[in-house]
């Protein structure tokens, strides 16, 4: 149940807002509430398409994303859903990390709704999105975190793991 709420948080929020303001509009018949209702619908539709992360979901094939894949760099894997509000919020944070650490880490974005990665999602026991996993060069899990990350905490963790792995 929590997984469904997490994956569809933007859609659920939109339905609650639209339902609530529809109820108020039909109770009070105020043109201001109608304008507000239409505005909310337009904002939700626009934000869904603006923040949709479909462009990043297939950066690697499933063989590269499997645990045990030997890589030249450490891998930073984000498991996300295109309808997850927390994933949309964390996207700019992760993009900044990718710019800063792209020489040390391979950044991989996997949509949990993509059936190609379902085995990996079960293997790593991904329950909520966004979930961030750092894999060593042999594909073993070094770090795992779920939810919207604090940029400073994640930067220090990435630096610490990289220095531990290179020494």
Instruction: Name the helix (H) or strand (E) containing 111.
Output: strand 105-111
Question: Average pLDDT of the chain?
Answer: 81
| CATH number for region 54-166 | 3.40.30.10
pLDDT band at 57 (very low <50, low <70, confident <90, very high): very low
Contact 84, 10 (CB under 8 A): yes
Q: What are phi and psi of 99, to 5 degrees?
A: -60, -40
Q: What is the mean pLDDT of residues 99-127?
A: 88
DSSP string, 56-84: GTTSS-HHHHSTT---SSEEEEEEE-TT-
What are the tokens at 135? Answer: 């894999």
Listed ranges 42-46, 69-73, 116-120, 126-130; the one with the highest mean pLDDT: 126-130
Q: What is the pLDDT of residue 9?
A: 75
Q: What is the pLDDT of residue 72?
A: 79
Domain positions in the chain are 2-51, 54-166
Q: What is the mean pLDDT of residues 9-28?
A: 85
Q: What is the pLDDT of residue 66?
A: 45
């Amino acid at each position: 149940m929590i997984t469904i709420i997490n994956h569809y948080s933007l859609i659920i929020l939109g339905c609650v807002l639209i339902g609530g303001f529809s109820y108020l509009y039909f109770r009070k018949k105020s043109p201001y509430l109608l304008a507000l209702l239409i505005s909310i619908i337009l904002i939700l539709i626009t934000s869904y398409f603006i923040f949709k992360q479909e462009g990043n979901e297939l950066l690697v094939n499933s063989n590269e994303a499997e645990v045990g894949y030997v890589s030249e760099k450490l891998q930073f894997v984000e498991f996300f859903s295109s309808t997850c509000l927390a994933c949309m919020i964390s996207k700019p944070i992760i993009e900044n990390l990718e710019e800063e650490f792209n020489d040390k880490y391979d950044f991989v974005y996997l949509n949990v709704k993509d059936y190609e990665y379902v085995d990996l999602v079960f293997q790593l026991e991904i329950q909520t999105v966004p979930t961030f996993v750092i894999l060593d060069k042999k594909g073993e899990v070094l770090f795992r975190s779920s939810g919207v990350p604090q940029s400073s905490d994640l930067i220090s963790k990435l630096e610490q793991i990289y220095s531990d792995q290179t020494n």
